[in-house]
Homo-oligomer: A and B are copies of this chain.
């Protein structure tokens, strides 16, 4: 059983995947597998190579776990957390632990190995965002879970082990520390200013136009003022919404449009860079609040220096966000 352990100093929970127990030789970075799509478990026709699907969007008449889908959600074959088990917290000497319960799912975004969001029809990109919502709403029914972390690792240096386009989600029995810090910080801002910090960011960025990458009726994409990473961008809904899973149909259309635009810009400017994407949303058990605003953070992985920065929490970014925005706007 994997285990969740709490750092006693700052309260950060970490998943210790004790079943895998990776030994030193397991960290040899393997050669990228050849692009033999006949062996790709996410390709159409290879459905039997994955665990049975949790959700699929498909043409009428198709049988479960067969061809004919355009999006498929499956359990991760090597899950970081396990669905079975009790949410039992306990002491371990002076420390705090709990069973590594949770869900770890893979959203296969397309049956086609070589198609990315830039090439997909808008409708198909919309379905990726529908799938995130559908899975969040379903996982919310499980009272043990407190947060659903949706993320995408694209490219090997960003942690993707398979190149077939996919996203992942992890349902957690607690709220991750970064989310707690954001909730707390944005609450403090609200208490002082009586305004949502994200709504203020939207207002500021639309006024100064220095860090805008793209805008449509419902979303803006900006390079954040204190960007940690070169070419980091955030996609933020222009109206105040706390919970991603409450997203409306019209907004999904516009979010897909924005995502396609931004993905295309990254490809044009940075030549398909490795990147990480995460949805930041209000914890699902929390009520609507006036201070937290869901958004998507996209972090291209162009540099090698994350280790020191992870250790210190201190980032050095050698591309000013104003320059990044200008180049992405033109791309």
Please report A residues at the B interface, Cβ cutoff 8 Å. 3, 5-18, 20-24, 26-27, 29, 80, 92-95, 149, 151, 153, 156-159, 170, 172, 176-179, 181-182, 184-186, 189, 197-198, 200-201, 204, 207-208, 224-228, 230-231, 269-271, 274-276, 278, 297, 299, 301-321, 323, 327
CB neighbours (8 Å) of A198 from chain B are 9
Given contacts A230-B27, A304-B159, contact A311 B185 (CB under 8 A): no
What is the CB-to-nearest-CB distance from A136 to chain B, in angstroms, rounded to a whole number? 15
- The count of identical subunits is 2
Given contacts A225-B92, A304-B158, A304-B159, contact A15 B317 (CB under 8 A): yes
What is the CB-to-nearest-CB distance from A242 to chain B, in angstroms, rounded to a whole number? 14
B14 touches A312 (CB 8 A): no
B208 touches A24 (CB 8 A): no
Given contacts A315-B15, A317-B16, contact A10 B95 (CB under 8 A): no
- Greatest chain B CB density within 10 A among A15, A80, A230, A307 is at A307
A22 touches B185 (CB 8 A): no
B92 touches A10 (CB 8 A): no
What are the 7 A-B residue pairs with the smallest beta carbon separation, nearest first?
A: A178-B313, A276-B307, A159-B305, A27-B302, A306-B306, A7-B226, A5-B226
CB neighbours (8 Å) of A12 from chain B are 226, 228, 313, 315
Q: CB < 8 Å: which of B14, B200, B318 contacts A228?
A: B14
CB neighbours (8 Å) of A271 from chain B are 24
A158 touches B308 (CB 8 A): yes
Closest to A311 in B: B278
What is the CB-to-nearest-CB distance from A102 to chain B, in angstroms, rounded to a whole number? 11
A227 touches B276 (CB 8 A): no
CB neighbours (8 Å) of A313 from chain B are 12, 176-179, 181
Closest to A147 in B: B314
Complex-state Cα separation, A309 to B151, whole angstroms: 10
A227 touches B158 (CB 8 A): no
CB neighbours (8 Å) of A201 from chain B are 8, 94
A153 touches B308 (CB 8 A): yes
CB neighbours (8 Å) of A22 from chain B are 230, 318-319
Given contacts A24-B270, A224-B7, A304-B29, contact A314 B275 (CB under 8 A): no
CB neighbours (8 Å) of A18 from chain B are 320
7 more A-B contacts (CB under 8 A) besides A24-B269, A309-B310?
A17-B316, A21-B319, A29-B304, A92-B225, A159-B303, A170-B314, A228-B310
B159 touches A21 (CB 8 A): no
Complex-state Cα separation, A89 to B159, whole angstroms: 38
Complex-state Cα separation, A93 to B275, whole angstroms: 29
B156 touches A304 (CB 8 A): yes
CB neighbours (8 Å) of A204 from chain B are 93-95
What is the CB-to-nearest-CB distance from A80 to chain B, in angstroms, rounded to a whole number? 5
B312 touches A178 (CB 8 A): yes
Q: CB < 8 Å: which of B200, B278, B314 contacts A312?
A: B278
